[in-house]
Structure 1
Amino acid sequence: MLKILGHSASINVRKVLWLCAELGLPYEQEPWGQVPLSTQSPEFLRLNPNALVPVLIDGDFVLSESNTICRYLANKCGRTDLLPTDPMARARVEQWMDWGATELNVAWRYAFMALVRKTPIDPDPILLAQSVTSWNRHMQILNGVLEKTMAYAAGPSFTVADVVLGLGTNRWWMTPIEHAVLPAVQDYYHRLSERPAFLLHVRNGLP
């Protein structure tokens, strides 16, 4: 059975949990990153020297980096609907997965940490405003994409890209900021909310 190391409050852990539910994969979860399971412990650092969750253990195979884990699981299950084999279709999915990790996540980090995680305790108002503006601007980019596809990030069908961006969209909705008016994103959120795995692992009260 698969083993997933990481606590469910982590947005990156929830990517893997959500995808496992979509794939029907059984797993055991250990909440590393919460007391007393420190990711700085020698035991964890042997598995991931970056000290970050999630880590996937599949037999003797150990893998970190949440987007890579999602690609691996979709491939393992032969789910070409979630991660296509056609080079162009797959590149489109991976483009939006990578954009979510390198662009969207960077935009929201300061605002989310200041307003939800409360670190720093006394946030810089200029940095906070800049982060909120950047976050809304990136969500406007996603809105434009969804206006074109009229469904999901990479086209008319749900893919692994939506696992990444769906969690980012949920975090945007749940963070107490002034939200841009984005009808296509709102429709996207409602569409994702029709998926039981999304309700279980994303719309579960955790931002």
Structure 2
Amino acid sequence: MLKIWGRANSINVQKVLWCCGELGLEFERIDAGNDFGVTGTAAYLALNPNGLVPTIEDGDYQLWESNVIVRYLAHRAGKGLLFPADTKTRFDAERWMDWQATVFWPALRPLFIQLIRTRPSRRDPAVISRSEELSLAAVRILDAWLAGRRFLAGDAFSMADIPAGVAVHRWYELDTVHPEVRHVRGWYDLMKERHPFRDVVMTPLS
């Protein structure tokens, strides 16, 4: 059985759990990371030398990096499900998965850390302001893209929507300004209609 190492409230672990829910995959999840520890042990570092979550074990195969795990599971399940069969559509999906990791989440993460994991007395207004600015700029990029399509890689839900979906959920849940971005809002509403999204992602931020 597929084994997933990582705490359920991690944004990166949630990508993998949501993907498994969409594909109907059975798995065993082991708490690891933050207060659970584990990630600094020799046994875990042998699986993932970065000491981060998630890591999966699929039989005798180990894999880390959340977006890569989502790609792997989607590909393993077969093209045409979450993994687009058309080459250009597939790389549209790949592009937006990488964008979430390199643009959107780096912009949003400092705001998340400040508002969720930092005591009010220790928050840095300059960090908050800058992160709000960069996050909104990223959301507007997403909004412009979604103006002409239902999902990130065309007319069908795919692996592309998972990384952005967990990040957009956090943006909406944070106590920050949310200007009207109607295409993102419409797409986010589609995410909220999906049972795995509700079960895995729509949980209290921590």
Q: TM-score range by the shorter chain?
A: over 0.9
SS in 2 for 1:160: coil
1:153 and 2:172 equivalent?
no
SS in 2 for 1:128: helix
CA contact (8 A) 1:113 1:120 kept: no
**TM score, norm. by length of structure 1:** 0.94
Residue identity in the other structure for 2:83? L
CA contact (8 A) 1:113 1:119 kept: no
CA contact (8 A) 2:6 2:33 kept: yes
Displacement after TM superposition at 1:36 (Å) = 4.3
C-alpha separation in 2, matches of 1:182 and 1:192: 15
**TM score, norm. by length of structure 2:** 0.95
CA contact (8 A) 2:2 2:26 kept: yes
Give 1:45's aligned residue: 45
SS in 2 for 1:57: strand
1:116 and 2:116 equivalent?
yes
1:204 and 2:203 equivalent?
yes
Displacement after TM superposition at 1:35 (Å) = 3.9
C-alpha separation in 1, matches of 2:188 and 2:86: 27
C-alpha separation in 2, matches of 1:71 and 1:26: 17
1:173 and 2:178 equivalent?
no
Give 1:28's aligned residue: 28
Displacement after TM superposition at 1:60 (Å) = 0.5
Displacement after TM superposition at 1:187 (Å) = 1.0
Distance 1:156 1:178, change over 3 A: same
The farther-off stretch of 170-179 and 37-46 is 37-46
SS in 2 for 1:135: helix
Unaligned runs of 5+ in 2: none
Displacement after TM superposition at 1:188 (Å) = 1.0
Percent identical: 39
CA contact (8 A) 1:19 1:70 kept: yes
CA contact (8 A) 2:33 2:39 kept: yes
SS in 2 for 1:136: helix
Aligned length: 206
What do you get for the CA RMSD once the two structures are aligned? 1.5
Displacement after TM superposition at 1:127 (Å) = 2.1
C-alpha separation in 1, matches of 2:170 and 2:75: 27
CA contact (8 A) 1:166 1:189 kept: yes
CA contact (8 A) 2:79 2:85 kept: no
1:55 and 2:63 equivalent?
no
CA contact (8 A) 1:74 1:80 kept: no
Give 2:99's aligned residue: 99
Residue identity in the other structure for 1:55? T
